Amino acid sequence: MKKNLVFLGAPGAGKGTIAALLIKDSPLVHISTGDIFRSEIKNKTELGTKAKSFIDSGALVPDELVVDMVVSRLQCEDCNSGYILDGFPRTVPQAELLDKALMKMNKPLDAVIFFNAKDEVLLERLTARITCKECGVNFNKLFSPPKKDGVCDMCNGVLYQRSDDSLETAKNRLVVYKEQTEPVIGYYKGPMLKEIDAEPATDINYNALKKAIEL
């Protein structure tokens, strides 16, 4: 099985949802930079305070704040059994700095999975997405609603709409994705890059992923 993974794709492509399934079936560690930032904001840390205004507007947090955070997380012992980088790298400079750090740590990437979906599908998913305040799991009001309205199936936490999932901010995030993150696909072009059609339902996407990483 390919074990050191990057999940690449626009917001709403389903990276986090698929990562949550994969960690149940494997020893991989899920590293979501968005989740880390949301937790830092909730805990009112210095990093959270610096990141908040960028996240609220749908912009990217500056590379220097993100890269150090990810590199120190990758140095933790649990990452030796493999990792999923979800939402990182999001710019070519982030990808270059990641390469350098992974070479030093001797934890090279095995595969980069590009989850591809059209803007209409992404916007529909983002604006109907509801997220658990406690465990961060995503539901969708249209496609995968929770069993009980407003309550997380996993931990009974309260579900809310992320402020950056509002229509206006979601549209801006897609613009930012095209300008700053799409070039990262070109950066990884080669045998390591695997493209998955992210438009079908989650179970179909998950099967495609398992095939791509030989799980």
Find the part of the chain contacting ligand AMP (CB under 6 A) among 52-60, 105-113, 142-150, 190-198.
52-60
In whole angstroms, the minimum distance from the beta carbon of 13 to ligand AMP comes to: 10
* Catalytic residue from among 3, 38, 125, 173: 173
* Catalytic residue from among 15, 38, 125, 194: 15
User: Is 9 an interacting residue with respect to ligand AMP (CB under 6 A)?
Assistant: no
**173 catalytic per annotation:** yes
**125 catalytic per annotation:** no
* Catalytic residue from among 3, 38, 90, 125: 90
**133 catalytic per annotation:** no
**Residue whose CB is less far from ligand AMP, 34 or 82:** 34
User: Is 33 an interacting residue with respect to ligand AMP (CB under 6 A)?
Assistant: yes
List CB contacts of 93: < 8 A, sequence separation 6 or more.
63
Q: What is the rounded CA–CA span in Å between residue 34 and residue 39?
A: 9
User: Is 66 an interacting residue with respect to ligand AMP (CB under 6 A)?
Assistant: yes
What count of other Cβ atoms lies within 10 Å of the Cβ of residue 81? 11
What count of other Cβ atoms lies within 10 Å of the Cβ of residue 103? 10
**Size of the chain in residues:** 215
Residue from 6, 10, 13, 61 touching ligand AMP (CB under 6 A): that is: 61
**Residue whose CB is less far from ligand AMP, 149 or 157:** 157
* Catalytic residue from among 3, 38, 125, 129: 129
Locate all alpha helices (DSSP H) within 58-166, ordered by sequence.
63-74, 92-105, 119-127
Are 63 and 57 contacting, i.e. CB atoms less than 8 angstroms apart? no
List CB contacts of 123: < 8 A, sequence separation 6 or more.
12, 167, 170, 171, 174
User: Is 174 an interacting residue with respect to ligand AMP (CB under 6 A)?
Assistant: no
Q: Which residues are catalytic?
A: 15, 90, 129, 162, 173
